[in-house]
Structure 1
Amino acid sequence: MRLKLILLVLFLINLNDSAIAIKCFQCDSNIDLECSEYFDPDMTSLQSKSCDNVFEARFCIKTTGMFGGVIGTIRNCSSRDLGDRCSYLKRPGDQRYVRSCVYTCSSDDCNHAQKINHSLPLSMITLIIFITSIFYL
């Protein structure tokens, strides 16, 4: 019983932390060259920022492709899970296709990598353990 109470308290604490805005890298490679597709957060001056500027932001995104006629990478915040997908687009009059991708993740600073690791927030892990303990302890 004591373990269940501890897990419930941990879940509630983590749930409260999740109400605070997520932090994401927010940059555009057409403005800042350090925001390129291959990005090492340890080798750059770019810092992640709180997503207070996006209503109900819970995700970080990284998009690659053609923006305003220029190929580049944009990292930002999102209130929606845009999933992970790539497609090949061809503009009218162009001879070649451009690969455009969007990657979505849900933990702080997660949109730096070329491919994004999807990790469960600590509150979800705690909830899973708590529910499991109800049935098996």
Structure 2
Amino acid sequence: MAQNYIVGIYVFLSLLTVGLCINCFQCNSAEDPACANLTVNDTTSRYYKPCDGNYDGKTPFCRKYVTSVIRLEDSTRIDRSCGWILDNHEKMDTCKKGDGDFLKKTVCICSKEGCNTSARSGSYLFLTIFNSIFVVVLYNIIC
């Protein structure tokens, strides 16, 4: 009987981890040049914000667009934002490059905290490991 409660607690904690609001960098280098050079240590940046919009029940993710006009100096623009709908050609946790006659574009889509910069965060991994250890300790105490 106690095992059922422990499994229930583990499932609840796991869902709680998944249900946390994701934080993404949200800015555009055309409006603010500082947006172009964000790193993992910039989590105190004013651009690092929760994706707290209305996403029609879909899980938000982070997105980064890098667009350059070919043959034009200083033409690279970086747009970092939250997304919730994937285009048919987009896949989670990947980057896709595309070239046209005048533009080069890279689109990166990711599902981790602040991942729309060059670095990754380990917060979800930490919570998952913590939840697992908590359940094992609880199991040993109860059973």
Please give the range of the TM-score, normalised by the shorter of the 2 chains.
0.5 to 0.7
Greater shift, 98-107 or 43-52, is seen at 43-52
The letter for the 1-side match of 2:26 is Q
Distance 1:3 1:23 in 2: 35
Evaluate the alpha carbon distance shift between residue 89 and residue 78 of structure 1 in structure 2; reply closer, same or farther with a 3 A threshold: same
Q: 1:20-59 alignment to 2 at 5 Å?
A: 20-36=20-36, 38-42=37-41, 45-55=45-55, 56-59=58-61
Counterparts of residues 1-137 of structure 1 (less than 5 Å): 6=6, 8-36=8-36, 38-42=37-41, 45-55=45-55, 56-66=58-68, 71-81=76-86, 82-83=90-91, 84-91=94-101, 94=102, 98-113=103-118, 117=120, 121-122=124-125
Q: Aligned-pair RMSD on alpha carbons? A: 3.8
SS of the aligned residue for 1:112 comes to coil
User: Structure 2: which amino acid aligns with 1:62?
Assistant: K
Q: Deviations over 1:17-74 (max 9, x none)?
A: 43342111100000011111x422536843411111251342111110149xx53000
Runs of 5+ consecutive residues of structure 1 not aligned to the other structure: 130-137
Change (3 A) 1:51 1:45: closer
Number of aligned residues? 119
Percent identity over paired residues: 23
Farther off after superposition, 6-15 or 27-36 = 6-15
How does the TM-score come out when normalised to structure 1? 0.61
**1-side partners of 2:45 and 2:100: how far apart?**
34
